[in-house]
């Protein structure tokens, strides 16, 4: 047994649970914990400029590598309320992060003390567990329970609130015998897997829908092996993108109302059976369940029992961790293949591959101002195969998902359900903090960029190099596009005449914020592109600058102000605004004759 403060015990437990990196902003009510961090030195700390950003950094850090758990720390009062958006983002996408807040001394709780707020109650709806620890001796076990809960079942965030005097209290704690609690993950039975494969075998045009749970479970290799054993094409969700490489013959495209491929939607509509693994049937993926489910049977595998039947009732549900289920799927499929009991789906897979080859959207535009679709074409050319893309919401994210290529798990890090503006920059910094040697590329529209652009100073201070692509149309582009249904263009313009931009800069003065001046003022490097033929060279130069200066490098591409990106109300009703790059020899009519649109 050793005598230590409760704050020291908390730090020691975090170290033994594998924490090596934290993000946060110190303050008076959390200083005892910071003192313990300094004393033990096993956990590095990155100082955010906004506490919400610290929570997004923690999420980016968690998502960058299997086994990571990001930690964000703040003082009492507004620090906790600032992190609510980060907790919401994390729980919505099943990402474990640990949020630690300081609190007023116990005797001052409920007495309207300075910066005292009931953060436990406020955060409960957006956490797996939220607790104000009221006894110093309970601190180490509260942290032990936090890691157990974050890793067990459907992953998610936890908030621990520590009153000042609780942190300072001295306790006896035997740290030498500490062991993390066993992680609980439900597992499918062989009988369930056999039934699911029997149902698959009864179909003619099956698909696997691969969700983010497969990436969370570190089971992507198993997914690819299962798809290859069965010959069944795979539709990744937005959160599962990268679970199978984009250029794999069985990768059939993404489905949805916005972040989808034409060939992915067409293939889903042509299918008669869907095996969903680790996904939650998000509405931007499905559209209305009536259209999505019509004419096909569903098996749903998910780690969380209450997810089965939440959106629509599947024909068969299995509660299981994705890795445990896929291990059995692979095992049983191997046995059936060896016994020559596997159905041949090669003709169906070939038709899916033909759609993928022919049903493309046009990206090569030469106009000035630049059309955004050209930007993603150039990004695909320049950035290496193992690039990690980080983005959140807006037309930039939607078009990025339609046009970029992703070749591996954890290479598309996207805030899926919550979609808070401002998420991209801090999340990208968290990703870089996990491994500064990787190629990390952030993708933002101008409004997402402006929400938390001060965090670029964190990248400059802590030497976190990455390339931030900023597509600037001086609009809330997605909201402007949705306002077309109301026949308005109201309060979505970001443009104004910036008096500090020289008149010789032409139209740039009318785009409002001078992002280049801001970026440079924050200690980072920047490039601006107005000619589509110069995008490629700017991206190449940005990578070199990031390596040389070890800071974020922003590439601002000045776009046309009004662009509509393909999207719709149902997966069979997606409107294409630009010319389709139809490569069938007989054009669009040829696609219809070939039955590829059916």
> Residue 302 maps to which CATH number?
3.40.50.1220
Structural contact between residues 5 and 36, judged by C-beta atoms closer than 8 angstroms: yes
Same domain, 355 and 368: no
pLDDT at 414: 93
User: What's the number of domains the chain is made of?
Assistant: 3
My answer on whether 341 and 198 are in the same domain is yes
Catalytic residue among 13, 25, 244, 425: 25
CA distance 63 to 412: 10
Domain boundary among 177, 200, 226: 177
Would 588 be classed as within a structural domain? no
- CATH of residue 382's domain is 3.40.50.970
In a domain, 594, yes or no: no
Share of the chain above pLDDT 90, in %: 80
pLDDT of residue 597: 53
List the Cα angle 299/302/303 in 5-degree steps: 155
355 and 367 both lie in a single domain? no
**SS3 of residue 250 by DSSP:** coil
Distance CA 213, CA 300 (A): 12
User: Is residue 573 included in any domain, yes or no?
Assistant: no
Please indicate, yes or no, whether residues 250 and 308 belong to a single structural domain of this protein.
Answer: yes
Structure tokens at 97: 């992060």
pTM of the model: 0.93
Active site residue 25: yes
Q: Report the percentage of the chain scoring pLDDT > 70.
A: 96
**Confidence (pLDDT) at 469:** 98
HEC profile for 149-179? HHHCCCCCCEEEEEEHHHHHCEEEECHHHCC
Whether residue 579 is contained in a domain is answered as no
Q: Which of 283, 295, 304 is nearest to 213 (CA)?
A: 304
Q: Is 215 a catalytic residue?
A: no
Residue pair 48/54 in contact by the 8 Å Cβ criterion: yes
* DSSP designation for 251: B
Residue 380 domain-assigned? yes
| pLDDT tens, position by position, 217-237 | 999 999 999 999 999 999 999
Residues 282 and 332 in one domain: yes
Low-confidence ranges of the chain (pLDDT < 50): 582, 584-591, 593-594
Residues 476 and 532 in one domain: yes
Put the strands of the sheet holding 388-391 in their side by side order. Answer: 412-414, 388-391, 440-445, 467-472, 553-558, 525-529
- What pLDDT shows up at residue 579? 53
Ordered alpha helix ranges (H), 462-584: 477-482, 515-521, 535-549
- Pick the catalytic residue: 30, 51, 257, 467? 51
Tokens of 598: 């059916």
Q: What's the CA gap between 292 and 265, in Å, rounded? A: 10
Q: Which candidate in 479, 518, 540, 580 is catalytic?
A: 479
pLDDT of residue 512: 83
What are the two backbone dihedrals, phi and then psi, of residue 124, each rounded to the nearest 5 degrees?
A: -55, -40
Query: What pLDDT is stored for residue 393 in this prediction?
Result: 87
The span from the CA of 97 to the CA of 77, in Å, is: 19
Instruction: Measure the CA–CA gap between 446 and 557, rounded to whole angstroms.
Output: 10
CB 303 within 8 A of CB 322: yes
In a domain, 580, yes or no: no
State yes or no: is 87 an active-site residue.
no
What per-residue confidence (pLDDT) applies to 143?
98
Residues 374, 355 share a domain: no
pLDDT at 112: 73
Orientation of helix 6-16 relative to helix 139-151, angle to 10°: 30
Q: How far apart are CA 297 and CA 303, in angstroms?
A: 20
Tell me: do 254 and 370 sit in the same domain.
no
Would residue 479 show up in a list of annotated catalytic residues for this protein? yes
Q: Are residues 353 and 371 in the same domain?
A: no
**Does 287 map to a domain?**
yes
Do residue 87 and residue 67 come from a single domain?
Answer: yes
Cα angle 15, 16, 21 (rounded to 5 degrees) comes to: 30
Catalytic residue among 139, 393, 476, 555: 476
Catalytic hit among 223, 421, 467, 591: 421
Q: Is the domain of 318 the same as that of 251? A: yes
Report the DSSP pairing between strands 21-24 and 44-47: parallel
Q: What is the span of the domain harbouring residue 235? A: 190-359
Report phi then psi at 160, rounded to 5. Answer: -115, 120
Q: What is the pLDDT of residue 500?
A: 83
Domain-located, residue 229: yes
Q: What is the pLDDT of residue 561?
A: 84
DSSP 243: S
Annotation marks residue 421 as catalytic: yes
Domain boundary among 177, 199, 217: 177
Closest CA to 443 of 581, 539, 562, 579: 539
Domain identity same for 355 and 372: no
CB atoms under 10 Å from CB of 114, counted, come to 10
């Amino acid at each position: 047994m050793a005598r230590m403060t409760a704050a020291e015990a908390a730090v020691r437990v975090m170290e033994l649970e594998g924490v090596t990196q934290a993000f946060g902003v110190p303050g008076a009510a959390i200083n005892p914990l910071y003192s313990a961090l300094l004393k033990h030195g096993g956990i590095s700390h990155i100082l955010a400029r906004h506490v919400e950003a610290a929570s997004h950094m923690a999420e980016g850090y968690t998502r960058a590598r299997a086994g990571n758990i990001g930690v964000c720390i703040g003082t009492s009062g507004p620090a906790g309320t600032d992190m609510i958006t980060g907790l919401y983002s994390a729980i919505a996408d099943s990402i474990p992060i640990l949020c630690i807040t300081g609190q007023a001394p116990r005797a001052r709780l409920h007495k309207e003390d300075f910066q005292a707020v009931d953060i436990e109650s406020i955060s409960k709806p957006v956490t797996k567990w939220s607790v104000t620890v009221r006894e110093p001796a309970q601190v180490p076990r509260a942290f032990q329970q936090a890691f157990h809960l974050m890793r067990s079942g459907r992953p998610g965030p936890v908030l621990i609130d520590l009153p000042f005097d609780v942190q300072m209290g001295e306790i006896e704690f035997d740290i030498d015998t500490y062991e993390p609690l066993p992680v609980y993950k439900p597992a499918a039975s062989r009988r369930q897997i056999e039934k699911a494969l029997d149902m698959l075998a009864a179909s003619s045009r099956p698909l696997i829908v691969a969700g983010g749970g497969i990436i969370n479970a570190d089971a992507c290799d198993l997914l690819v092996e299962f798809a290859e054993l069965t010959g069944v094409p795979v539709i990744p969700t937005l959160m599962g993108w990268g679970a199978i490489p984009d250029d794999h013959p069985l990768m059939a495209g993404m489905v949805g109302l916005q972040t989808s491929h034409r060939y992915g939607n067409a293939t889903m509509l042509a299918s008669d059976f869907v095996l969903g693994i680790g996904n939650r049937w998000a509405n931007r993926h499905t559209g209305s369940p009536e259209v999505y489910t019509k004419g096909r049977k569903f098996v749903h595998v998910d780690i969380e029992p209450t997810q089965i039947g939440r959106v629509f009732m599947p024909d068969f549900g299995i509660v299981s961790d994705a890795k445990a289920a896929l291990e059995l799927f692979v095992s049983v499929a191997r046995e059936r293949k060896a016994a020559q009991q596997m159905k041949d789906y090669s003709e169906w897979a070939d038709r899916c591959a033909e759609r993928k080859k022919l049903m493309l959207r046009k990206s090569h535009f030469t106009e000035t101002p630049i059309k955004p679709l050209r930007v993603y074409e150039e990004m695909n050319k320049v950035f290496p195969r193992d690039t990690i893309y980080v983005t959140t919401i807006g037309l930039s994210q939607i078009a990025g998902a339609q046009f970029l290529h992703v070749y591996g798990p954890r290479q598309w890090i996207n805030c899926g359900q919550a979609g808070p503006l401002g998420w991209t920059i801090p999340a990208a910094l968290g990703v870089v903090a996990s491994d500064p040697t990787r190629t990390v590329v952030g993708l933002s529209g101008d409004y997402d960029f402006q929400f938390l652009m001060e965090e670029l100073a964190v990248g400059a201070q802590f030497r976190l190099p990455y390339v931030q692509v900023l597509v600037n149309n001086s609009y809330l582009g997605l909201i402007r596009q949705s306002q077309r249904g109301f026949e308005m263009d109201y309060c979505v313009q970001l443009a104004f005449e910036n008096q500090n931009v020289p008149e010789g800069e032409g139209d740039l003065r009318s785009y409002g914020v001078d992002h280049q001046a801001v970026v440079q003022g924050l200690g980072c490097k920047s490039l601006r592109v107005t000619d589509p033929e110069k995008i490629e060279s700017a991206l190449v130069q940005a990578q070199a600058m990031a390596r040389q200066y070890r800071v974020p490098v922003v590439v601002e591409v000045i776009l046309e102000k009004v662009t509509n990106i393909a999207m719709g109300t149902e997966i069979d009703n997606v409107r294409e605004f630009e010319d389709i790059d139809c490569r069938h020899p007989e054009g669009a009519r040829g696609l219809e004759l070939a039955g590829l649109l059916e």
